[in-house]
Amino acid sequence: MARKKIIAGNWKMNKTPSEAVALVEELKDLVKNDEVDVVYCVPAIDIVPVVEATKGTNVAVGAENMYFEESGAYTGEISAPMLVDAGVKYVIIGHSERRDYFKEDDVLLNKKVKKAFASGLTPILCCGESLEQREDGITMEWIKSQIIADLAGVSADDVKKLVIAYEPIWAIGTGKTATSDQAQEVCKGIRDLIADMYDAATAEAVRIQYGGSMNAGNAAELLAKPDIDGGLIGGASLKADFGKVVNYNK
Ligand code: 13P
């Protein structure tokens, strides 16, 4: 069965609750496309109003982060049950900004991935190399190490539902996109790794996104590649252009 494309916006730390609702309204008619899963990953404080504003539309809501504990004394954190109760379906885990600025490591991210699945959320697990790692020729080695550690103890059945976002750090917010061949090469490498770690059926089912300056101008070429099943989009998800990314095939 062909994998359904999944186009997700990562709003990062943008949009107040009222601005968030206004953006949902602005994009409502522009992001209709039955052939694609559309997700808005939004700041925690925007989740409740965005779930409300997207009711009855084709848009699912995701969180940008969560903590792995069920509840308790973890000031400032948000739990999986809170997300589920609010109507969230997806959660970004291990974005490079969280790995870099907030020192999230693979041991922590593995716990988050497992908690997300145990709670019925679909993780969007991010991986990607720095410019230095690419220049040193260790891109695939690095990404393999991330994925192996982040998925330790995760079952094949869960990995079949997983979304992996390949985001080269040097392409994030820089306007510099990986070429479609570079992105395809790594996404294929990730799929091959999943086949090695699990089996061919799991590798065939897992959806792999590209992220890093994806926009209305380059989406169609990237999404035409056989192992690129969608996009995780930062800057271009905050404007009307996002509708063009979602409708890359029209
Ligand atoms: P940009 O699309 O702004 O480069 O951000 C990509 C990203 O980090 C999505 O998670």
CA of 247 to the centre of ligand 1 (A): 18
pLDDT for the residue numbered 107 = 98
Spatial separation of the C-alpha atoms in residues 102 and 189, rounded to whole Å = 27
**Token reading at 49:** 């109003």
CA of 71 to the centre of ligand 1 (A): 30
Side chain identity at residue 76, one-letter code:
G
pLDDT for the residue numbered 175 = 81
**Token reading at 115:** 């908690």
Spatial separation of the C-alpha atoms in residues 235 and 190, rounded to whole Å = 25
Specify the ligand 1 atom closest to the Cα of 175.
4
pLDDT for the residue numbered 1 = 66
CA of 20 to the centre of ligand 1 (A): 18
Of 64, 22, 32, 25, nearest in space to 47 by CA:
64
Spatial separation of the C-alpha atoms in residues 63 and 40, rounded to whole Å = 8
Return the residue whose CA atom lies nearest to atom 5 of ligand 1: 234
Maximum distance among all alpha carbons in the chain? 49
Options 19, 141, 167, 185, the catalytic residue: 167
**Token reading at 2:** 């062909």
Specify the ligand 1 atom closest to the Cα of 174.
4
pLDDT for the residue numbered 174 = 87
pLDDT for the residue numbered 173 = 86
Q: Is 95 a catalytic residue?
A: yes
Q: What is the mean pLDDT of each run of 10 residues along the chain (250 residues)?
A: 94 98 98 98 98 98 98 98 98 98 98 98 98 96 98 98 97 88 98 98 98 96 98 97 97
Q: Is 69 a catalytic residue?
A: no
Q: What pTM value is reported for the model?
A: 0.98
